[in-house]
Amino acid sequence: MTIRKDIILASASPRRREMFEEQGIPVEIVPADIDEDLPFAMSPEGAVMYLALAKADHVAEDHQGLIIAADTIVVYNGEIMGKPQDEEDAFRMLSLLRGNVHQVITGVCLVDSREELRRKECLWDVTDVYFKDYSDEELRRYVETDEPYDKAGGYAIQMTFGKYIDHIDGDRDNVIGFPMYRIRKYLETNEAGTDPADGDKE
């Protein structure tokens, strides 16, 4: 069985696209433009799966294939941290995370839009991230750059702020925004992720 070739990634994230390219899995990119406000209070895990499913369903309305969508948040002491709105918001978030441990949670949903009933699978993964200490001056210099403002929690592990991460407990790819190992395993072992053209081969 081979992995399906009609996978659609409902994301504008360059890094998520690169992860599939690195795995040799071709995907079509169709970003999902949805309202990301939650309709009611949810757990962090519920929130990321809700938003990932909303993105996948949105793209599935007009595209045929296996739609994969994801949503990533940073959680500290029960506070869900999205993308900073401005410099002060970024400074506030990263001041809270300084010298502490927080969680990065990514939800992923897969929707097979070929099927009338739309097979749907959702999962989530969590990684503990431990930050070093850093000065207010270092933080001010960082939030004056463009880097924090399209990232949950205001940072990316693979970019310049990664030097302030002491260590992590869990999947590094999940911190980047996509638990690639788990999704690759799903695609290789689940009927919904394999190429239907191979179904009759022994």
Q: Can you tell me the distance from the alpha carbon of 178 to that of 172, in angstroms, rounded to the nearest whole number?
A: 9
pLDDT digits (tens, 9 = 90+) for 69-128: 999 999 999 899 989 999 999 999 999 999 999 999 999 999 998 866 678 999 999 999
Q: Does residue 105 fall inside a structural domain?
A: yes
Q: Can you tell me the distance from the alpha carbon of 75 to that of 67, in angstroms, rounded to the nearest whole number?
A: 26
CA angle 89, 92, 96 (to 5 degrees): 145
pTM confidence score: 0.89
Q: Which of 57, 71, 112, 125 is catalytic?
A: 71
Q: Does residue 30 fall inside a structural domain?
A: yes
Q: Does residue 1 fall inside a structural domain?
A: no
DSSP letter (8 states) at residue 113: T
CATH number at residue 135: 3.90.950.10
For position 197, what pLDDT does the model report?
Answer: 62
Q: Is the dihedral of CA 74, 76, 77, 81 positive or negative?
A: negative
Q: Does residue 2 fall inside a structural domain?
A: no
For position 198, what pLDDT does the model report?
Answer: 59
Q: Does residue 201 fall inside a structural domain?
A: no
Amino acid at 62: D
Distant-in-sequence contacts of 40-46, Cβ < 8 A, 24+ apart: 44/73, 44/75, 44/80, 44/103, 44/105, 45/105, 45/107, 45/124, 45/126
Residue 78: both structure tokens together? 């029960």
User: How large a percentage of the chain has pLDDT more than 70?
Assistant: 95
Residue that the structure tokens 């939030």 belong to: 143
Q: Can you tell me the distance from the alpha carbon of 154 to that of 97, in angstroms, rounded to the nearest whole number?
A: 10
**Beta bridge partners of residue 8, listed in sequence order:** 28, 67
* Of the candidates 183, 201, 181, the residue with the CA atom closest to the CA atom of residue 192: 183
In sequence order, the 6+-apart residues with CB closer than 8 A to the CB of 19 are 173, 176, 178, 180
Segments forming the whole domain that contains residue 26: 7-195
Q: Does residue 142 fall inside a structural domain?
A: yes
* Of the candidates 195, 201, 183, the residue with the CA atom closest to the CA atom of residue 2: 195
71 belongs to the catalytic site = yes
Q: Does residue 200 fall inside a structural domain?
A: no
Residues of the chain with pLDDT under 50: 200-202
Q: Does residue 187 fall inside a structural domain?
A: yes
* Tally of domains in the chain: 1
